[in-house]
Amino acid sequence: MTQQRGAPPDPGLPSNYLRLELPAMSANLALARATVAAFAAGLPFTVEELGDLKVAVSEAVSNVVLHAYPAGGGAVLIVAEINGLELTVTIEDQGCGIADIDQARQPAYTTVADRMGLGFALMDSFCDEVTVSSQVGQGTRVVLRKLAGHRTQGGNAVPYDRDPDQPPL
């Protein structure tokens, strides 16, 4: 769930948000992940973690492009929020929904030929928490949560450290 805008933020923590609505087209994937990564660069993520975040966002938006609107058209709404050291990215559509979320989240489950069904597996690996909610005929919401300044699974990030050899994103 995205947080209520009306709620006052914790005065001790910086907060910020980004709302981005795009037509659900694969041509918008690069824009979506680059925009979220640029926003997230306001937190002490490592370059590697920002790369992981790009993959997770790309997977979630790709799912919308591939599955949400079988008749074509439709939009994807991306809301990224920073609260303290926590980044939350919500990827939402108003498409056909997922009947069986547990099945859809299984690695190697795919409804499209020549694909790997690894989308949710990569989101899970590259985020601290992935939440999926969906109603058939109403749409789907994926929430990615990622904490900055700590080690994540598979990462070798040093807290509050940026790779000095990498250009800023």
Tell me the catalytic residues.
59, 63, 115
CB of 58 to another protein, least distance (A): 5
User: CA-to-CA distance for 102 and 112, rounded, in angstroms?
Assistant: 17
Phi, psi torsion values for 112, nearest 5 degrees: -120, 130
Closer of 59 and 93 to another protein (Cβ): 59
Q: Which is nearer to another protein, 67 or 141 (CB)?
A: 67
Minimum CB separation of residue 47 from another protein in Å reads: 8
Question: Computed from CA positions of residues 80, 44, 35, 54, in that sequence, does the dihedral angle turn out positive or negative?
Answer: negative
Kindly state the smallest distance separating residue 157's Cβ from another protein, in Å.
Answer: 12
One-letter-per-residue 3-state SS of 129-155: EEEEEEECCCEEEEEEEEECCCCCCCC
Nearer Cβ to another protein, position 154 or 164? 154
Residues near another protein (CB under 8 A) are 26-27, 29-30, 33, 48, 51-52, 54-55, 58-59, 62, 65-66, 114-119, 121-122, 125, 154
Nearer to another protein, 2 or 125 (CB): 125
CB of 31 to another protein, least distance (A): 10
Cα–Cα distances in angstroms (integers) from residue 73 to residues 45, 79, 166, in the given order = 34, 20, 38
Would you state the structure tokens that stand for residue 20, as one six-digit string? 């981005």
Tokens of 128: 């601290």
- Report yes or no: 127 and 56 within 8 Å, Cβ to Cβ: yes
